[in-house]
Structure 1
């Protein structure tokens, strides 16, 4: 027995000793050294933290190349987040010098080469967020380690400017906006130029992101500036068409910020804003206030990308020719709207409180306000069509969540998927819905039993959290996480979620303009998980029935 133990110890030490590592890597800015983390027999991952991909950006300026460094950069610490407002909106934190990226490179017995590359963009409503996401006991949500190891891909996470500093715009060339999107573009271009030194294939890059990160991915596919820089894209719960993703009246926000920081709102406004302290500007972002049925909170996300005539030369709907060669995978969570709708209608999330039908109508009226009473009547008739004469509280509450999910996420995402498929040349299209019940739902837990996948529920599965934190999850969560990593990594490798080093439980069909097929993703998938025409009645309601009604004096200028 003792001999066996010694033999096992020797084998283990050999395994970790012979797992490969990159050592010092040469990049355009200089040499970098990361950290090698052994992951068992002949497996390890090299982690590089805080590599600059651009210089410290000037206020309201596009990013510029980094001047480089002497000696070897010790890439072992995450950089600070980009300067942003705190969750309580009472202070700011982070740094102006924040254009850094992190890289995870998996190895077997030999140093990896020619691996697919996945670049992650975080969410946060374009107002907040960081490349590493929330951190609990040094377990960062956006650690690329599990995807890199299990999917055998290189994962890169990047910082980009948010809030006032990332997206303030006057709607003209004096302060064009989209600085955060330019940061993302600079990161993609850096990876394209340098990733070969890390063992990556510069001709097989996939960009992926969630919420505002998913919308960012969508904008990057539509911009002519990214031609040839990446091959594939994944949008989770966010696209360019989401009502919060594009600001149609940026000047109004710029004037409000100017007034807050004591700048004039005439011709001197831009010069004054540019000379204002960055911390003061970050603090002056429009407040994210608690919503109500009449004023849903999602309408407060006012700092977002704009059509600037440069990064986005036209309205998103007219730019899909730029994505014709890009493979695109996109989807929503079946209750993406729950997080938002239960803040607008607080009784909705309370198990002991009834939600009046009137509140559901008020929320729907806010979303359809441009179409007046006629719009509300048509939409409400559609949403309550299966209610019967005495709908239960569960029915009423679920309908409110459906309305939020459809309006804020699902319908815009379906619109992007339809347009991608219709304009695709070589690019393939895949559509999904995540329907795994929320871990917060059920008896003795805060959510109603019927709550499905809430906004951001997909993140823990894509980033493999059930594996390093087994006590917080059950086997079914690990199964689901394994499936999602398999589909995502296969898609990054081949452009087809079914083909690659891993196998998903069912074959995910391509979305076509005729079949409209999608995969319903959860821990218990089978052939019935392939569905078609996702919520088509409601997609039609929002994309054709309501837009065809006359508008009532509510314009974007208000």
Structure 2
């Protein structure tokens, strides 16, 4: 039968979902051939919500007629440019992108990995930075190597995403509601794309890692998230929740000529969106006394709705979610270098006094006693005259511990403590600065091989294996991809995995930086609060 043999022949060479039916209407992506019997459908720019109202929760998209060609990334949400002198992006930005691998047969019932980008809740886009037409957050390598569906989403950032008075007139958390709307859309629609709505893993980095954690803690996602991965950021980070949102709202109001009384919210709602966005800049004139981390002022608020309580009291909501959280061992460097520029100098020594000033800022509510205790913990292993390198490294360690590592350990303890079926895993990435991990997780050493050495491909292969195994089974060691070391559960003696390009089983350790974790989580809080005179 010629017809049969022809269709069998075509079936082997071309696999695609074709036109996909979603709740808003039909969409068609782009089909790419990756190799013999390996194809992928890529959908860019599918709306998951309507154009959002100012300072409002996202609303359902009204839908469309005919077939929407989902071929191009949509603009990122309106935000500052990186040097904060101008804006880019659009208020019409609630779109997501989907990568669907077809290996041997058209995808069905695949695990789904949903990426939430970072950028201090001020910057970022679902496609990431574009280097030589290769987008950082292209899900292609993860989807192809791990045989999982990858989704990336857009959410409002800056003032439009997070400005809040702490009252119902301007409740805040709009960017988190956008993420939640995208997760719910994936849960409702991903089956049409060959995904398993019962196996959704969130992953994200920095503010995206904290967002992932917030999404597992809010009661609004009950039953939708199976697993989650937080890279260099959790809800408990000192920049995760705004302590005094009203103060920030008033500062923004003054910049855009709005009153700061009862009329403030109404005025802000009518202010030009570009002016509002420019008013939410980050003060980078930092110093050891005014560290940059204290200026990351636009983030989540305890609003009684998305976050009914402080995140530390919501871990029961993640009891059946499998969770990986970890940091890079130099995560603090990017931030500490703003505060103490000398740490990047090969020539200039870093003054120990600068280190003390930074510690004083981090421990300010405990006064001079807090700083002295902190300094004695961090200088305990110094010789009487520490060399240049020791002081610089200690400065980075302090930043890493305070901004990322200790809050991440605290989140892991809370997750493990409240877990019922959820498993808990911990890691630290060696020799990596903040954001260094992104290129490896997204497989850049494979998609742009000229920029990397073979050892970079090794670490990228390991990461994608651990991450996608975890998405499939809840165990990073099992799921069809080979891994270099068995990663134990955090709950067995606080064990964690050290990620490195030449890993073997000796890369499993326990009790990460325990002396410092204990200092920040129990010694410091037990000190009396400083009186105003100190």
Q: TM-score range by the shorter chain?
A: over 0.9
- Other-structure match for 1:487: 466
CA deviations 1:308-364 (Å, max 9, x no partner) are 000000011110110001000000001100111112111101112211111111111
2:435 to 446, 451, 456: 456
User: How does the TM-score come out when normalised to structure 1?
Assistant: 0.93
1:473 to 434, 449, 452: 452
Q: Secondary structure at the match of 1:166?
A: helix
User: How does the TM-score come out when normalised to structure 2?
Assistant: 0.97
Deviation for aligned residue 1:15: 9.4
Q: Secondary structure at the match of 2:475?
A: coil
Counterpart CA distance in 2 for 1:322 and 1:174 is: 27
Query: Which sits farther off after the overlay, 336-345 or 115-124?
Result: 336-345
CA deviations 1:187-211 (Å, max 9, x no partner) are 0000000000000000000001000
Say if 1:398 and 1:308 are closer, same or farther in 2 by CA, change over 3 A: same
Contact 1:19–1:108 (CA<8 Å) still a contact in 2? no
- Structure 1 residue 81 corresponds to structure 2 residue 76: yes
- Other-structure match for 2:3: none
1:517 to 495, 508, 531: 495
Deviation for aligned residue 1:290: 3.1
Contact 1:16–1:41 (CA<8 Å) still a contact in 2? no
CA deviations 1:254-285 (Å, max 9, x no partner) are 11111111111111111111111211211111
Counterpart CA distance in 1 for 2:446 and 2:365 is: 47
- Structure 1 residue 229 corresponds to structure 2 residue 207: no
Q: Secondary structure at the match of 1:170?
A: coil
1:54 to 26, 34, 49: 49
- Structure 1 residue 189 corresponds to structure 2 residue 184: yes
- Other-structure match for 2:529: 551
1:158 to 153, 167, 173: 153
1:538 to 502, 516, 519: 516
Contact 1:207–1:232 (CA<8 Å) still a contact in 2? yes
Counterpart CA distance in 2 for 1:242 and 1:326 is: 20
- Other-structure match for 2:265: 270
2:312 to 289, 311, 317: 317
**Structure 1 segment 379-398 matched on structure 2, within 5 A:** 379-398=374-393
Q: Following TM superposition, where does structure 1 have runs of at least 4 consecutive aligned residues deviating by more than 4 angstroms?
A: 14-17
Counterpart CA distance in 2 for 1:85 and 1:422 is: 39
Counterpart CA distance in 2 for 1:227 and 1:347 is: 47
Counterpart CA distance in 2 for 1:546 and 1:253 is: 27
1:431 to 426, 430, 435: 426
Contact 2:84–2:281 (CA<8 Å) still a contact in 1? no
Counterpart CA distance in 1 for 2:507 and 2:407 is: 22
Counterpart CA distance in 2 for 1:331 and 1:15 is: 45
Task: Provide the aligned length of Structure 1 versus Structure 2.
Answer: 525
- Structure 1 residue 373 corresponds to structure 2 residue 351: no
- Other-structure match for 2:123: 128
Counterpart CA distance in 2 for 1:54 and 1:62 is: 10
- Other-structure match for 1:238: 233
Contact 1:221–1:323 (CA<8 Å) still a contact in 2? yes
- Structure 1 residue 404 corresponds to structure 2 residue 360: no
Counterpart CA distance in 1 for 2:286 and 2:136 is: 27
- Other-structure match for 1:446: none
Counterpart CA distance in 2 for 1:180 and 1:504 is: 35
CA deviations 1:122-172 (Å, max 9, x no partner) are 000001111111111111111100000000000000000000000000001
- Other-structure match for 1:204: 199
Runs of at least 5 residues in structure 2 that lack an aligned partner in the other structure: 1-8
Q: Secondary structure at the match of 1:130?
A: coil
Contact 1:56–1:96 (CA<8 Å) still a contact in 2? yes
Q: Secondary structure at the match of 1:263?
A: coil
Deviation for aligned residue 1:17: 6.7
Counterpart CA distance in 2 for 1:416 and 1:252 is: 28
- Other-structure match for 1:3: none
Say if 1:225 and 1:92 are closer, same or farther in 2 by CA, change over 3 A: same
Deviation for aligned residue 1:287: 3.1
Counterpart CA distance in 2 for 1:166 and 1:330 is: 25
Contact 1:286–1:300 (CA<8 Å) still a contact in 2? no
**Structure 1 segment 343-354 matched on structure 2, within 5 A:** 343-354=338-349
Deviation for aligned residue 1:365: 1.2
- Other-structure match for 1:505: 484
Q: Secondary structure at the match of 1:365?
A: helix
- Other-structure match for 1:45: 40
**Structure 1 segment 15-26 matched on structure 2, within 5 A:** 18-26=13-21
RMSD: 1.3
Deviation for aligned residue 1:496: 0.4
Q: Secondary structure at the match of 1:362?
A: helix
Counterpart CA distance in 1 for 2:161 and 2:239 is: 15
2:162 to 139, 146, 167: 167
- Other-structure match for 1:251: 246
Contact 2:284–2:338 (CA<8 Å) still a contact in 1? no
CA deviations 1:13-57 (Å, max 9, x no partner) are x79971411111010000001001111111121100000000000
Q: Secondary structure at the match of 2:177?
A: helix
Q: Secondary structure at the match of 1:270?
A: helix
Q: Secondary structure at the match of 1:66?
A: coil
